[in-house]
Amino acid sequence: MKIMLRVLAIEGGIRRLDLNGHSLSLWFSDLHQKNPYAVIDLVVAHPQKFSMTPDSVLKARLEAGSVFGMLAETKNILKEIVQCVNA
């Protein structure tokens, strides 16, 4: 699962991914995205789930209770980001 998350992160232009408790933090590399502003559109579309810090770190609130549930939710978030930034 860790390798799959890393592959999705690279495809989405994410240079760092932190999963801490029920919080996911993503640091982006603008150079590796076709549409880097799509991340902001994602935050605006889902403000209850996503937020952006002043230093451009995307924070996502994870709702799953188990570790495997949080990993699956992280995978789905990464897939959504890959679709957005590479469209």
Digit-coded pLDDT (tens) for 2-33: 899 999 999 999 999 999 989 999 998 867 77
Cβ-defined contacts of 29-34 (< 8 Å, 24+): 33/85, 33/86, 34/85, 34/86, 34/87
Q: What is the mean pLDDT of the segment spanning 43-66?
A: 92
- What is this structure's pTM? 0.90
> Shortest CA distance to 62 belongs to which of 79, 75, 53, 52?
75
| Domain limits for position 14 | 2-85
| Structural domain count of the chain | 1
Maximum CA extent, the chain: 34
Length of the chain: 87
Specify the CATH number for the domain of residue 41: 3.90.1150.50
* Per-residue pLDDT, 37: 85
